[in-house]
Every structure is written in C-alpha cells, then in structure tokens.
Structure 1
C-alpha cells in the first residue's frame, strides 16, 4: 500500500499561521484579559466580576437589546429590498445597467462619510429632509434627536448603504436560474406572482442565505455608522454593543470592555452559526 505524501498539506501552513496569529491568539488573549482588571502596565485577576458587572448595568443591557433590534431590522429590510430590486434590475427595464450602478454606489462610499452626510441631512431644523418636508406642509421629526427614532433612523441609513450589496448577490443568484423553469410554469398557467413565489424565491435561496448571514453579522458588529451619526445618543437610546464597549475603553474600564468584546463575539457565534445551519438545511430541503 502506497503511503500518502504529506507534501500537499504544507500548503496549508501559511494560512494556518495567519489564522493562528490573527484570530486564535487574540481571541484567547481577549478572554484572559476579560477576567482581569488591566491597564498597559499590569493585570489583576478578577474572575467573573467583569461579566457580572456587564449584565448588571442597565445601559449595557440596553446596548445589547439595541444591537439585536438593529441587526434584525436591517437584515430583514436588506433581504426584502435586495430581492425586489434584483428582480426589477434583471427584468430588462430601460437604463438597467445605469440603475445597477446607482443602487450599488453607496456600498463604495466610506461608512463614516455616509454617517456625517446623513447627520447633516437629518438635522431637525436645517437638514434637507425636514426642510423638504416643511415645504409640503409636514413638520419633520427629530430623526436623530428623538430617543424613540434615533436608532431606527440609523438603521434606515444602514439599509440605504448596504442594500446595493444584497441586490448584487441576488442578481448573481437570479442569473443562474435557467429560463426553462419560467417557460414551463407559464405553460402551466402561472401568474407573475406565482412565478416569483414558486420559482424565483426557492431557486434563489442560496443567495438569500448569503444575504441574511452577511447582513446579520454586519448589524451585530456595527459601530462606525452609529458613532458617526449619534455617538449612541440621545442618552443611550441608540447605543449598540460595539459603541458601549468603545465608551468603556474611553472611560478606562478596559477589563469590562474586553468582557463586552467576548460577549459580542459569543453573541454573533451563537446567533449566526445555528441560523446558518438552519438556512442551509432549508436549501437542501428545497
């Protein structure tokens, strides 16, 4: 019996070293430091005190709930709007290529730049959005100054910026569907709605899985857009977990903020891994 050569496995070594150095080691180090009170000069073991404090602080719990709300809303809207836009932009409408570029363009813009732009557009008195609403007799709300609207306003901006990527993924998925399926369904008398619901949606499920997972991960770990638009305010109304963690770093509670990073990592893993398994199983069933 011929012995298999280990030579091919050496090609995995560079990737393994990079993965170990940039992921495994920092992850283990973060977990260790989350169990300490630390600064650049020393680390004193604290046990689970940082985690107990994290879950006992109301504003930290509020940030976690805001994160879950933000991730859910943005993922749902990106998935629905991305699919609808992809169907529209593959239907042969006039200016289809130009419209694809317009929809995808916000993805290329810096998130901080988008945040600063919409911070000005959503100003309660001088912002272009409320000025336009006032011109037609509508009193615009305080998009970023009203505690009940601030987080939802940031979510809408995130959807505007990210729906182009979802649309691009769906366009790629739609291009793989053979036209024979649509022809067969039309011969059987299927309506446009039935074509969409019975043919397009099931066959584009792999793209749907990708969009949901990417949108959910992006929503759970979001920081830059929230920080650019609201700094987590007014009060703690639009704080997400990442912005709360950053504020703890700024305040010098480095052990507590590191515990928050570990909790954020576990939150993403515990939500995304089972969801990805379930979505992939639905794809196999289809």
Structure 2
C-alpha cells in the first residue's frame, strides 16, 4: 500500500492557497450577486452585472485596457529581448548594467506614478522644460486625451522592463553552448543564429514575459490612478479604475461584479494563450 506521508507536505501550501485565493474568489462571486454594505446584504441575482454592462464608461475602459495591455506587453517583449541579447554579450560592466536595468522594478509603483506625473507636467515638468530648451514645444503628455494612455503605458514599460529583461537573460544563458557552436560550425552568421537558435530556444522565456506582462496590463490600476486618475475624461480609464470609482461611490456589489468580470476576462484570455505558448512543439 502506498504511503500517504508525502501528501502531508502539500497541506501547508493547500491551506494558504485555500484561505488567500479560493475563499476570497468564492466570496467575490457570491457578493457580486448581492447589494451589500457593512451592515446588510440583499441578494439581487444578476442585476449588478446588467448595471455594470450598461455603464457608459465601460466600453471605453475595456478598449483602453486591451490597448494598454497589448502596447505594454509588446514593448516589454521586444525591448526586453534586445536588452537581454546586449547584456549577455561580452561587454564591460555587464553586472552593473543589469542592476541598472532591474532597478525600476524595485521602486514603488505609486512613487513612480507620482514622480512621472511631475516630470510630465505640460507647463513646469522637466521633460517639456528640456524640450523647450532645444526649441520644441512639448505636448500635454497626461492632459491630451490622445496621449494620456500611451504616456502611462510607456512609464509602465520603463518600470517593468527590468523583469522582462531578467527573464530573457535567464532563458538565453540556459541555451546549451553546443547548439550555438554547432550553428557557427555549419556556417551560420549572427542573424541566422539569432533566428534559428536563440529565438526558438528562448520560447519559454517569451511565454513567461508575455503572460506576466499581459496579466499585469489587463489588471493595471495603481500606475494609471497615480498619474491620471483615469482622465482626462475617460481617455485613460481602464476597467480596474472604473471598478474603483464604483467602490468609491458606495456601490460595493456593483464594484464586486466588475471585479468578477475582470477576473473572467483575464482568465479567458491568459489561460488559452499560456497553453498555446507553452506547447511542446517548436514551430520552425
């Protein structure tokens, strides 16, 4: 008879997972079907979801959320991969440069948001002041509806780029040297080695970067809230900030329903994408 002794080692992790994930998730699904406050709960079925999808800002916030997630994920993949290639080559002060690239990841997101809100001020900000010094009139980075979301997205890329680069560095370093040497012996040049060896074998790193960046982009709230508050108007409004505004207004059941919708959207997008990115066959 097989011993159940090793199974007990899973118990602490299972308890933590249940208490901090399963219980809150089930509770959120329940409270999304109610009109609740600190003192009373009234079951109202799907009314919160119907109201949530009738909100005028919802369509705009969903569009902004997807734009933000795609832009930030795409830039982190491309720039992170290029930086990883550079930081795994034979360069001087490679360790120092890796630390510099990773440093923004360690900084508080709210701190980054407040700092860049000051730097990007259209009148007194350092960025526009520097541009005016060379005769260029800087735009309203956070006040122009056409630029606000993109400006926040670029700041998010700056902050999260270090993690993407670190993952790519780990993926590139893990490639067996024999593969690179064999490619060079066969006469492959640098671009061919990159295309046929490094990029395919760095696929797990790419999958991790895309997945983490996409989840972070779809759930983004703190940086956007610190820099624009969802404005001007609804120009940089995302689903998470729209949910928070409902909570501020005292519509707790409605905001909980919004959280459930966001959870389902992230799950529906990320899980199939992650499985596709991690399939065993490497397409050539």
Residue-by-residue CA offset, 1:122-170 (whole Å, 9 max, x unaligned)? 0001111111111111111100000111011000000000010110111
Q: Is the Cα contact below 8 Å between 1:120 and 1:127 reproduced in 2?
A: yes
Cα–Cα, structure 1 residues 198 and 284, in superposed 2: closer, same or farther, change >3 Å? Answer: closer
2:250 corresponding residue in structure 1: 252
1:110 corresponding residue in structure 2: 108
1:137 corresponding residue in structure 2: 135
Paired residue secondary structure (1:58): coil
1:65 corresponding residue in structure 2: 63
> C-alpha separation between the residues in 2 aligned to 1:184 and 1:284?
19
1:146 corresponding residue in structure 2: 144
Paired residue secondary structure (1:94): coil
Paired residue secondary structure (2:236): coil
Q: Is the Cα contact below 8 Å between 2:200 and 2:282 reproduced in 1?
A: no
2:193 corresponding residue in structure 1: 195
Paired residues for 1:260-275 under 5 Å: 260-275=258-273
Q: Is the Cα contact below 8 Å between 1:62 and 1:239 reproduced in 2?
A: yes
Q: Is the Cα contact below 8 Å between 1:87 and 1:171 reproduced in 2?
A: yes
> C-alpha separation between the residues in 2 aligned to 1:134 and 1:84?
31
Residue-by-residue CA offset, 1:158-213 (whole Å, 9 max, x unaligned)? 00000101101111111111222222222332222111111110011111111111
* 2:118 is aligned with 1:120: yes
Cα–Cα, structure 1 residues 64 and 181, in superposed 2: closer, same or farther, change >3 Å? Answer: same
> C-alpha separation between the residues in 2 aligned to 1:242 and 1:282?
34
Paired residue secondary structure (2:278): helix
Paired residue secondary structure (1:239): coil
Q: Is the Cα contact below 8 Å between 1:206 and 1:283 reproduced in 2?
A: no
Paired residue secondary structure (2:279): helix
> C-alpha separation between the residues in 2 aligned to 1:231 and 1:171?
35
How far did 1:283 drift?
Answer: 5.2
Q: Is the Cα contact below 8 Å between 1:205 and 1:283 reproduced in 2?
A: no
Residue-by-residue CA offset, 1:27-74 (whole Å, 9 max, x unaligned)? 111111111111111111211111111111120221122111111110
Which of 25, 49, 52 is 2:50 aligned to? 52
* RMSD, aligned α-carbons: 1.3
TM-score under structure 2 length normalisation: 0.97
> C-alpha separation between the residues in 1 aligned to 2:6 and 2:97?
46
TM-score under structure 1 length normalisation: 0.96
Structure 1 runs of 4+ off > 4 angstroms?
Answer: 282-286
